[in-house]
Structure 1
Amino acid sequence: MELSPQDATLAAYERGAQQYAERTAAAPAPEVDALLARVPAGAHVLELGSGPGRDAGALESAGLTVDRTDGAAAFVEAQRAAGHQARVLDVRSADFGGPYDAVFANAVLLHVPRADLPGVLATARRACRPDGVLVASFKKGAGDAWTQVKLDDPRHFTYWDEAGLTAALTAAGWTPEQVAESTLPASAERWITAIARNEASLPA
């Protein structure tokens, strides 16, 4: 039976986890600083798609507690082998656990099909405390495509623009704070950083 684009992408990460780690820049994503500026000291963060654990390490070094998760068991096993607690969590799951002060998703929700993203974002919001924050990054563009950049194995991406992401966040119950193109000097691709609050769960 033919795999869905998401399952095929997960399989690519399972096979190429070590190669992905070797080809990932050591410097944390700029979204790390965006999150640190918006949560209290000691905040409890759910990271979707921890991958090699680079950003989780930076957040933990800043005093946050990070629930490291990934849809690929190979990444989870590598993080456990390095002494970290981690669990397998597919973003298509109906429950992410929690409650958390924030959900951090750097370059992971871009694998979710366009029609499914509002549902995934709604699950993330349910995992957040009132006034909790979401920080996520997406590839900027139109449509969707397969690519073998970074991994010698095809992965599927959905591309977004600011208006589309803002609508998806709003449909999921988030209050967008910032949805704007982010600057990554080392990348030939364009990216969008999305930041939103869980104001829908605040008491009236």
Structure 2
Amino acid sequence: MTEKSHDPDTLAFYDAEAEAYAARGDRTDASDPLRAFLARLAPGAHVLDLGSGDGRHSAAMIEAGFEVTPLDGSAGLAAIASRRLGKQVRIMRFEEIEDSAAFDAIWAHASLLHMPRDAVPGILARLHRALKPGGRLFASFKAGGSEGRDTLGRYYNYPSKEDLASWFAASAAWSGVEIEESKGGGYDRKPTDWLILQAVRPPSP
């Protein structure tokens, strides 16, 4: 696969199951990581919610006083988030992002994990370009070591810490790369090992 790719079965799952997915929600509790992430940003910073899903994280960020641009590849989930937020959600696949120096931060909770492995560095390069100098990226991945599908048929790239580090090194000049491990779950209600990554587009000289 190339950067100009995504997994159509995974996208079809979220379109078909959008209402049920939003009703149950991703049971991974991201409230603490989100608060910690926002605490590292300037008040009122402009955040791209990449893979905004049903819009619950966008809503929390807006309530906290941040400017938020929600974006999702699933038209079904974007419609639900638009109703929740009272604003239009951008419907776009991640490999189509063309923004340049537009955002102070990017929140990519449980979204980049669905991208084909060999597409990830190119998408990270796009996100690097979309950030303003000094902008911060948060991304979470289900850990593993080799790609595969879950019991619901969704594709996951399942990286190791070494995989993540190599993808970022191959994508762009990031600084302050931090990779942490955590325990949690997901929509399939199975215990899950997570990798939490933060990185910064270096400030201009």
- Hey, what does 1:117 align to over in structure 2? 120
Structure 1 SS opposite 2:37: helix
Once the two structures are superposed, the pairs formed by residues 143-182 of structure 1 within 5 Å of their partners are 143-148=146-151, 153-173=152-172, 174-182=174-182
Contact 1:26 1:54 in 2 (8 A): no
Identity of aligned residues (%): 34
Contact 1:70 1:87 in 2 (8 A): yes
Task: Write out per-residue CA displacement over residues 72-105 of structure 1, whole angstroms, 9 at most, x where no aligned residue.
Answer: 0011111223323311021111414651001110
- In 2 relative to 1, CA 167–176 (structure 1 residues): closer, same or farther, beyond 3 Å? farther
The alpha-carbon deviation at position 6 of structure 1 amounts to 0.9
The alpha-carbon deviation at position 183 of structure 1 amounts to 3.6
Task: Write out per-residue CA displacement over residues 25-77 of structure 1, whole angstroms, 9 at most, x where no aligned residue.
Answer: 39544431232122100000011110011111111111111101100001111
Which one is further off, 28-37 or 172-181?
28-37
Separation (CA, whole Å) in 1 of partners of 2:148 and 2:110:
15
Aligned length: 195
Task: Write out per-residue CA displacement over residues 141-162 of structure 1, whole angstroms, 9 at most, x where no aligned residue.
Answer: 11111123xxxx4211110111
Q: 1:141 aligns with which of 135, 140, 144?
A: 144
Structure 2 SS opposite 1:92: helix
* Backbone CA RMSD of aligned residues: 2.0
Structure 1: runs of 5 or more not aligned: none
Once the two structures are superposed, the pairs formed by residues 94-105 of structure 1 within 5 Å of their partners are 94-96=97-99, 99-105=102-108
- In 2 relative to 1, CA 81–54 (structure 1 residues): closer, same or farther, beyond 3 Å? closer
Separation (CA, whole Å) in 2 of partners of 1:30 and 1:114:
28
Once the two structures are superposed, the pairs formed by residues 1-204 of structure 1 within 5 Å of their partners are 6-24=7-25, 25=27, 28-82=30-84, 83-96=86-99, 99-148=102-151, 153-173=152-172, 174-184=174-184, 188-199=191-202, 202-204=203-205
The alpha-carbon deviation at position 8 of structure 1 amounts to 1.2
Which one is further off, 169-178 or 71-80?
169-178
Structure 2: runs of 5 or more not aligned: none
Task: Write out per-residue CA displacement over residues 113-150 of structure 1, whole angstroms, 9 at most, x where no aligned residue.
Answer: 111111000100100000000001000111111123xx
> Which residue identity is paired with 1:162?
K
> Which residue identity is paired with 1:76?
A
- In 2 relative to 1, CA 166–123 (structure 1 residues): closer, same or farther, beyond 3 Å? same
Separation (CA, whole Å) in 2 of partners of 1:166 and 1:195:
11
